[in-house]
């Protein structure tokens, strides 16, 4: 594969996070890489945008003459400003991560790591989000060859319009293998911790705890538990529930006329 594909790297742990550095190391020799990432951590921002504060963009030094900018916004802000302001071209692929902590199951809906590539998918730019299940001591180095292999595959075999890959690395090492998977059902729910302010009023840390569900054996949640690296194709081009649309359309469209008759 020729090194002429343009890859935009972002994340939600911040531009100085170790995960982003390892992501860059995995890709710098196989693609033309550009880095546009948040100046500070923006975890759990999903597709959140900065609309009530100004956004600052600052070009920073990066090794091997890789163009890099830090943005005082979210991952979605980074992608938007990257395409509309910073870059003079549209990237062939957006790659996000490597996140500290898993983004498996329905947790993907909250993830800023995933949000960055969803923003690209809404513009018909394919993307891949990478996350490590081990939050405390992620072994980013072991992931690099997998990152390189998966990105090369997607560049050579493009994803369908509006589709991204959500990739998670298990805690268990060595990895049992690589599996294309379906999305699991588990996700983090709130686990509020009440605290008392010195002036007497209560406040809360929202916290979180994992919810367990009966998982399909080919789900990312189940496969991660078995030590597999998982890649879930997620689609954001057209999200209509066509079954409900077709089964209820006639009845729904007549609701007002029924009310008038009554």
Q: Which residue has the higher pLDDT, 214 or 234?
A: 234
**pLDDT band of 262, cuts 50, 70, 90:** low
193 domain residue, yes or no = no
Q: What is the pLDDT of residue 2?
A: 55
DSSP conformation class of 188 = E
pLDDT digits (tens, 9 = 90+) for 120-166: 999 999 999 999 999 999 999 999 999 999 999 999 999 999 999 99
Q: What is the pLDDT of residue 109?
A: 93
DSSP conformation class of 40 = S
225 domain residue, yes or no = yes
194 domain residue, yes or no = no
197 domain residue, yes or no = no
* Global model pTM greater than 0.85: yes
What are the C-alpha distances in Å from 111 to residues 41, 86, 95, 242, 259?
12, 24, 14, 26, 43
pLDDT digits (tens, 9 = 90+) for 52-96: 999 999 999 999 999 999 999 999 999 999 999 999 999 999 999
- Rounded Cα–Cα distance for residues 223 and 238 (Å): 27
Q: What is the pLDDT of residue 1?
A: 52
pLDDT over 90 at 260, yes or no: no
pLDDT digits (tens, 9 = 90+) for 217-231: 999 999 999 999 999
Transcribe 222-246 into DSSP letters: HHHHTTEEEEEEEE-S----HHHHH
Q: What is the pLDDT of residue 48?
A: 95
- Rounded Cα–Cα distance for residues 37 and 26 (Å): 17
Q: What is the pLDDT of residue 256?
A: 86
Q: What is the pLDDT of residue 56?
A: 97
Of 102, 94, 89, 99, nearest in space to 78 by CA: 94
13 domain residue, yes or no = yes
- Rounded Cα–Cα distance for residues 91 and 214 (Å): 39
Structural domain count of the chain: 1
27 domain residue, yes or no = yes
Q: What is the pLDDT of residue 259?
A: 62
Strand 228-235 to strand 163-169: parallel, antiparallel, or no bridges (unpaired)?
A: antiparallel
Average per-residue pLDDT in the chain? 93
Q: What is the pLDDT of residue 3?
A: 73
207 domain residue, yes or no = no
113 domain residue, yes or no = yes
Q: What is the pLDDT of residue 215?
A: 84
- Rounded Cα–Cα distance for residues 181 and 193 (Å): 35
Helix 140-156, helix 18-27: angle, nearest 10: 50
Of 2, 45, 159, nearest in space to 10 by CA: 45
Containing structural domain, residue 79: 6-186+215-261
User: Is residue 113 a contact partner of residue 37, using CB atoms and an 8 Å limit?
Assistant: no
> Which CATH number goes with the domain that contains 149?
3.40.1210.10
Radius of gyration over alpha carbons of the chain, in Å?
20
pLDDT over 80 at 211, yes or no: no
């Amino acid at each position: 594969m020729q090194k002429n594909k343009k890859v935009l790297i972002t994340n939600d742990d911040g531009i100085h996070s170790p995960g982003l550095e390892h992501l860059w190391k995995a890709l710098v020799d196989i693609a033309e890489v550009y880095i546009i990432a948040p100046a500070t951590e923006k975890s759990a921002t999903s597709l959140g945008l900065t609309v009530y504060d100004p956004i600052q963009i600052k070009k920073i030094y990066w090794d091997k003459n890789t163009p890099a900018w830090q943005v005082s916004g979210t991952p979605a802000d980074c992608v938007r400003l990257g395409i509309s302001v910073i870059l003079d071209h549209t990237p062939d692929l957006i790659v996000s991560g490597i996140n500290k902590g898993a983004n498996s199951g329905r947790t993907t809906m909250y993830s800023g790591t995933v949000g960055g590539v969803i923003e690209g998918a809404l513009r018909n730019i394919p993307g891949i989000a990478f996350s490590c299940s081990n939050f405390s001591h992620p072994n980013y180095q072991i992931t690099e060859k997998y990152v390189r292999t998966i990105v090369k595959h997607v560049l050579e075999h493009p994803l369908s319009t509006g589709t991204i890959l959500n990739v998670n690395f298990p805690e268990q090492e060595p990895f049992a293998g690589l599996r294309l998977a379906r999305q699991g059902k588990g996700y983090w729910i709130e686990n509020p911790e009440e605290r008392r302010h010195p002036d007497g009023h209560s406040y809360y840390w929202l916290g979180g705890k994992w919810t367990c569900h009966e998982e399909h054996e080919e789900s990312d949640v189940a496969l991660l538990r078995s030590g597999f690296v998982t890649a879930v194709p997620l689609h954001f081009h057209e999200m209509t529930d066509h079954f409900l649309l077709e089964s209820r359309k006639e009845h729904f469209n007549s609701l007002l006329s029924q009310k008038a008759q009554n």
